[in-house]
Amino acid sequence: MSASGRIDLKSWPDADFFRALRPAWVPAGILVATAFLAWLVPLPATLAGLRTAGPFALLLTGLGMAWRFNRGRSFVILASLLGAVAAYYEWPTKPVYVALTVLVPLNALLVMLYPERGVRYRAAYGWLALLAAEGIFLAWISTASGSLLENVLFRSPPTPLVGRLAFAAAFAAALWRAWPELTALQVGNAGALVGYYIAAEWIAVPGIHAAFMCAAGAILIVALLEESHRLAFRDPLTGLPGRRALEERLRTLGSRFVIAMVDVDHFKKFNDTHGHDIGDQVLKLVGARLAGVGGGGIAYRYGGEEFSLLFPRADLDDALAHLEAIRASIEGYRMAVRAPDRPKSAEDGAKRRASSVPRGAPD
């Protein structure tokens, strides 16, 4: 796995691969715990009101956090889930249920097709208008009883076939957005969809339905908190822990440790000559190499072209050997500057190289 958190499939499976999947542990754990509690631990009669209040409370909390943190995709998913709870609470009819199993995943699919642009901007009003229009539609069909619902595509419960297809498309789009960075919020969006799907499958059992709607809200609340922590403590360019993370770690160290400052020589001159984009490539390269330091060292982006290497519970002589090794590794690395028209994917690059070989040239 690279310093930016991307998974290197050439080395799969290894410890780095499973470490990269850590963001999926929390959603999976919440879903497993919810299943255990919903099926094996009966809700006391005195807490029966949580079946109604619980989903509203968690989804509203998550919605407020998504608005505050300006996360558009999570906001749309949470608003759709909250609307689904409210709509079925108000109109607990089969047409409304069928419509919700289609509309909620379609909203998620639609928001995944657009780049993340936040929620507090002018185009966000379009999402609010769409959700309002869907609410009006649900109110209109709440009293419908047409033969269309007996069609194999709409027959329910559990989730009708068209709803399952919509969910599969939305879940695939969520995974597509999450890969390969696998940040907590991207994985949380996918996990919330799983929670909603299970809730829809068990709509006939109010306790289980409410539990998994709560789980969907809890998954996104935790994901939003983890995302805010990542933005505060991790450098977005190199993927290394940032200066704030280093300061937090220094408070926990004992009296025995080694810390080294790493500076890229003549970086300002290089930046002025080749431009900031190429300079960013250099910083990414240096960060990736430093992340592989041995001896239990931990690399941090301190700021600008400065990095830090921390060796907890290490002696100076031991750390010096690893510092010299990583310095020599960076010095001896021949960097190839990425051209502006360089293909983004390996497949496109292979095609371009193949087309550039003259006919009759030896392989």
What is the average pLDDT across 266-288? 85
Closest to 24 measured CA to CA, from 183, 176, 231: 183
Contact 186, 178 (CB under 8 A): yes
Q: Which of 65-69, 102-106, 177-181, 347-351 has the lowest mean pLDDT?
A: 347-351
Over 60: is that where the pLDDT of 52 sits?
A: yes
Q: Which pLDDT does position 2 carry in this prediction? A: 47
Closest to 100 measured CA to CA, from 180, 196, 170, 182: 196
Over 90: is that where the pLDDT of 103 sits?
A: yes
Q: Which pLDDT does position 3 carry in this prediction? A: 45
Contacts of 242 (CB under 8 A, 6+ apart): 233, 234, 235, 300, 301
Q: Which pLDDT does position 314 carry in this prediction? A: 86
| Rounded distance between C-alpha atoms, residue 312 and residue 254, angstroms | 8
Q: Which pLDDT does position 197 carry in this prediction? A: 95
What is the average pLDDT across 12-33? 75
Q: How confident is residue 362, by pLDDT bands cut at 50, 70 and 90?
A: very low
Please give the structure tokens belonging to residue 110.
Answer: 């639609």
Query: In the chain, what's the furthest Cα-to-Cα distance?
Result: 83
pTM of the model: 0.74
What is the average pLDDT across 69-78? 93
Q: How confident is residue 303, by pLDDT bands cut at 50, 70 and 90?
A: confident
Closest to 220 measured CA to CA, from 86, 58, 33: 58
Over 70: is that where the pLDDT of 84 sits?
A: yes
Q: Which pLDDT does position 137 carry in this prediction? A: 93
